Amino acid sequence: MGDVEPGRPNSTRFEGEILEGLLRELAPQVLGAVVRRYGDFDLCEDAVQEALLAAAVQWPEEGVPANPKGWLITVAARRRIELWRSESARRRREESAAALAPPEPDPSPAVDDTLTLLLLCCHPALTTVSQVALTLRAVGGLSTAEIARALLVPEPTVAQRISRAKQRIKSSGAEFTLPPEAEQAERLAAVLHVLYLIFNEGYTASSGGTLHRVELSGEALRLTRQLHDRLPGDGEVAALLALMLLTDARRPARTRPDGGLVPLAEQDRSKWDAEAIAEGVQLITETLAAAPLGPYQVQAAIAAVHDEAPRAEDTDWRQILALYDLLDGIAPGPMVTLNRIVAVAMVHGPLAGLEGLAKAETDPALAGHHRVLAVRAHLLDLAGDREAARTQYELAARRTLSLPEQRYLESRAAQL
């Protein structure tokens, strides 16, 4: 890519896709270099965003420089100085010319600060929604507008979240260094949780007219792969990457041409991404053998059992139930409970599943949830109570905010 010259006759779309990927790959490296040099995360992050924008405008016309990372660092450093001068002027500070123009950073520092950036963006002083927004911007290299489109929230809301997050990091006194070793496990867990949330929202959008938001699931996969490259011995990092690969592998078969949802049992498995499945299975197999057991490892193992079944009827539900029992012991939660009930029904019959569902609804997090209603409808249908199943499907359809899910649930009700 560094050999690209102005006027190179590639298609505009092809060049645009390559350029976008390059800028997102370089974004955390550039930000890390500039923050490491100057320290002020908030100004440096703004400066890097402007450097990325400048590259997106100039490089298609002028060609990608021989050292794109160095170019971005230099432009970001200069822009950071301009921003600092402007801020200083507003505050009417008197500074010497030397202080206003510190030496520019080494254009190609050897240190890779991606992990430090991820940990900083998931600082415990921030709310989860702020961690998500700041991670997508600072580490993912997405613009505020791109994040707003991906999350289906107004652009000013995203901008406000990012601004508040940076100010909170500043006021907390957080430094651009790896946290003490005693804190690293907890901070890394927060990073994995944020990446997991980003992926899930991209794979099954909680609202809107489309089932997938590939820009989110793809970004989560990319960032998790980067994290695995930096922490290859961490079992939960490897497991999260495996879980994403094994789950995303099914995406080509999850929707019909009209965008309608296709449930797992009805998917054309020939459309699944065999290469992603093979990579995911290898990752989780190696991780389970070498690392202490964690919740992402169990979830990835469940995904692997599903993906390795040639047909839906070949699925080893007893193994899946055993894994959910294990997951419920180490990381219980409402969705774990609900998924385990489905496994119970597949092993012991729909009446056993319905009995478990009645008990689970005492949890306020599940009471009235559209997925509980959908599961009940499915189990009632399996038990032969079609009228009650239809009622539950209709009620679930009214409660979901996802249009593809709504259409699917309505179609299931209409078939009964």
Residue 181 CA to residue 203 CA, distance in Å, equals: 33
- Amino acid, single-letter form, for residue 342: V
Q: Which of 29-33, 61-65, 157-161, 277-281 has the highest mean pLDDT?
A: 277-281
pTM assigned to the model = 0.81
User: What's the distance, Cα to Cα, between the start and end of the chain in Å?
Assistant: 56
pLDDT band per the 50, 70, 90 thresholds, residue 317: very high
pLDDT band per the 50, 70, 90 thresholds, residue 249: very high
Structural tokens at position 294: 């964690």
2-6, 11-15, 132-136: least confident range: 2-6
Tens-digit pLDDT profile for residues 187-214: 999 999 999 999 998 888 777 778 888 8
pLDDT at 89: 52
Tens-digit pLDDT profile for residues 353-403: 999 999 998 888 888 889 999 999 999 999 999 999 999 999 999 999 888
pLDDT at 178: 82
Q: What is the mean pLDDT of the chain?
A: 86
Beta bridge pairs of residue 402: 208
**Cβ pair 26, 68 in contact under 8 A:** yes
In terms of pLDDT, which residue wins out, 101 or 359? 359
Whether the per-residue pLDDT at 97 is higher than 50: the answer is no
Strands (E), 220-371: none
